[in-house]
Amino acid sequence: MKDYHPRADLLKDRVILVTGASRGLGRIAALTFAAHGATVALHGRDVAALEKVYDEIEANGHAQPAAIPLDLDKATTRDYDALAYAIESQLGRLDGILHNAAHVEKLSPLEHQSVEEWNRMLRVNLIAPFALTQACMRLLKTSVDASVIFTLESHGHVPAAFWGGYAVSKAGLEALMKIQSAEWQEFPHLRANAVIPGPVASPSRAKTHPGEVAASQRPPEALMPTYLYLIGPDSRDVSGSVVNA
C-alpha cells in the first residue's frame, strides 16, 4: 500500500471522523484526508490544539471541518451519542472513522501496574472505539460506502513483557475490529480494518521509547497512502484485515 497513489479528489463529498486529531498521526491523517477532499470531524481532548488543526485545514483552502472535543477517559454513553449527533447536525452525514486516539501509561511489569492505569487504557484504547462506532452506527449505515479504521500496536498483535494493560487493550481492539467486520458481512457498504503503524514519530512513541533515535522513526506522512487506501473507495472489498505498516 505504500506504493498506492490516490487521486486528488479521492475523498470528495465524504465526511470522516478522526479521533486524537490534535497531534501526531491523527493530525497528519486529518490534514491528509482534508487535502483529498474530505470534510473532517476533528476529535481531541485539547480544545486549543484542535483549533490549531481546524485553522490549518481552513488556511489550506480545504472544506470547513468540525471540532468536537471529548475526554474519552471520562466519556459516557450519553457523551458518545452527543458526539454522533453533533456530526449529524453540523456535517449531515458520516462516511468513515479513523480510531487513532490512544493512551499509554509507563511500561512496567504487571505487578507494578495499577487498576487505575488499566482502567484508563481500556477506556481510551478499547471501550471508546467500541462506544463511538456504536453511537455512529446509524450514520455509517446510511452512507453508500463507509470505512472504519482501528489503530493497533505491534505489542498487542504479538504480546511482550512489560507492555501490560496497553498491549491487552490493543489486543482487544484487534478482536473488536474482526468481530465488527464479521457482523458487517451482510452490509457490503460497511467495512472495518486495522493498521499497525510501527515505529512512527508520535507522542506515544516518545513515551514508550524515550531513548530511541529519531532517525529510526518514520514520519506519519509515510503511512498516509495506507490510511487513504483503507478509508477511501478503492478498498471497498477489503474488510477484517490487519495491515502492518
How many domains would you assign to the chain? 1
* Beta strands, E only, the chain: 15-18, 39-44, 66-69, 96-99, 146-151, 190-196, 242-244
208 in a domain, yes or no?
A: yes
Task: For residue 103, give every residue at least 6 positions away whose Cβ sits within 8 Å of its Cβ, in sequence order, or none.
Answer: 72, 73, 120, 121, 124, 125
Residue 3 lies in a domain: no
Whichever domain contains 168, its CATH number is 3.40.50.720
**Model pTM above 0.85:** yes
In a domain, 95, yes or no: yes
Q: Coil, strand, or helix at residue 45?
A: coil
Instruction: Say which range, 97-106, 125-134, 188-197, 205-214, has the weakest mean pLDDT.
Output: 205-214
Quick one: angle between helices 24-35 and 47-59, nearest 10? 30
Across all residues in the chain, what is the average pLDDT?
94
Q: Which domain holds residue 232?
A: 15-244
Residue 7 placed within a domain = no
Residue 126 within a domain: yes
221 in any annotated domain? yes
Of the residues 4, 54, 80, 166, only one is catalytic, namely 166
Position 211 pLDDT exceeds 60: no
**Local structure of residue 71 (DSSP, 8 states):** -
pLDDT digits (tens, 9 = 90+) for 32-65: 999 999 999 999 999 999 999 999 999 999 999 9
Annotated active-site residue 80? The verdict is: no
CA distance 213 to 230: 30
Any idea which residue has 478509508 for its cell? 231
